[in-house]
Structure formats: C-alpha cells, structure tokens
Amino acid sequence: MNKGLNKPGRLSEILTALLIEAAAARAMLDEIHPSLQTPYHDSNVYTLGQVNTTDKAGAGTHNAVIASGRPGTANAATVANDMLRTFSWLRIGLMVGIAGGVWSPESDVSLGGVVVGIHPTGEVGIIQYDYCRSIQDKAFVKTGAINKTPGILLNAVTAVQAEQLFYDLPDTKCISNLGREYAKKFAKRSAEGRLFHASYTHRVV
C-alpha cells in the first residue's frame, strides 16, 4: 500500500451511494493500490488509489479511498463513521453523486455536466431535496439546511481558479481523458438534455 495512505493529512475520502458513481470515481484514479485488511467493526469495502497531477502549475499526488454504500443519509453516515475507524487521520471527505440542477442564463446546468457545490458568497452550495417542500403553484420552500463547505475546500477552489487564469489550464482535461478511455460508459452523451421551466411541477410516481 502506498505509504502516503498512512500519513495524516494526505488522504481524502470519496463516498458514493450508487454503483455507477463508484465506478466513475474509480475510473478517475491513475493508480490502484492493493486492498487492506480492515478492523472487525468496519464493514466497508474500500478501493485505494491515487490521482497524479502534472501541469504547468506543478506536479503532485493525491491519495484517495473510495467507499460505496447504499442510498440514504443514514447509510452515508454509517459508511463515513466506519471509514474514520480505519482511517482516523482523514482530513477531507467528498460525496460524489448524481444531482439535479436548474438552468439559467448565468448557470448553464445541463445533462452530463459536472458541478462543484460552491456558493459564490460562501454559503451552502448544494440544496438537499428532503430539506425542502414542493408546493403546487407556489415557491420552492426550504425547511432546513446542510453544513457549509469547509474553508479548506473553498480555499482550494480559489487556488485552482487562480491557476487556471494564470496558466490558462484546461478546465476538463481529466474529464476529457476519462471520456476517451471509458467513452461507452461515462462520456457525456451527444443527445441534448430536456429542459423545463422553473415553474414546471413534476409529477412523482
């Protein structure tokens, strides 16, 4: 196993709820590390690996551990807690999954897009659907809130954006490479997405 996986602050966790999400996250890893034996009280099955970055801004290695659970907030919390039993030095945890978005002239959210949940003013960048109510012919009402994005991740996004401006780095280099290697499974489809007006009420069946 890569020695970096045993060093505090050098490992990030990626949580997924669906099989396709876990497969897509695994496809982003440049190297896969051997599996490890987990404690008896940890029921997770992990994929260990690393992402290598080499560009004009420099090179680096990011170690990651991927854990797959089942849909539901309770299941996600269980996976995260068990992961901390094995990797107590974990510093960052990311939930990777499928989400919905509302298109606007300022935010071009469309089918197949990759979105990072960062709010421009530092507030919550993602709205959890079960914290809201949909009322016929009325506004979408928030009934709760999730935690704000940690400062270290907000600072990391700002640093990446600054590097893109200075070095003119491509935004989707790794996504493009992923599309070529796994075109049949994970590449963005050529078909156009079906957009609805914000006032449209979807029927839940």
Q: Is the pTM of this model over 0.75?
A: no
Backbone angles phi, psi at 125, to 5 degrees: -95, -10
Looking at this protein, which amino acid is placed at residue 10?
R
What does each of the 205 residues of the chain score in pLDDT, given as a tens digit?
455 555 554 567 777 777 878 888 888 888 888 887 888 888 888 888 888 776 554 456 778 888 877 776 678 788 888 888 888 877 777 777 776 666 667 766 666 666 666 766 656 666 666 655 655 556 666 666 667 777 777 787 787 777 767 665 555 555 555 555 665 666 555 556 666 776 777 776 5
The pLDDT value given to residue 14: 79
* 142 conformational bin, left if phi > 0, alpha if psi -120 to 50, beta if neither: beta
Torsion of CA 12, 162, 52, 21, to 10 degrees: 50
The pLDDT value given to residue 94: 76
The pLDDT value given to residue 58: 47
Rounded to a whole number, what is the largest CA-CA distance in the chain?
57
Alpha helices by DSSP H, 3-123: 19-27, 73-86
Residue 155 corresponds to which tokens in the numbers above? 């600072």
User: Is residue 61 within 8 Å of 52, Cβ to Cβ?
Assistant: yes
Give the three-state DSSP class for 47. Answer: strand
The residues near 186 (Cβ < 8 Å, ≥ 6 apart) are: 23, 24, 27, 178, 179
Beta strands in the chain (DSSP E): 11-16, 31-33, 46-55, 58-68, 92-95, 132-134, 140-142
Query: Where do the domains of the chain lie, and which CATH numbers do they carry?
Result: 7-97+182-188 (3.40.50.1580), 115-171 (no CATH)
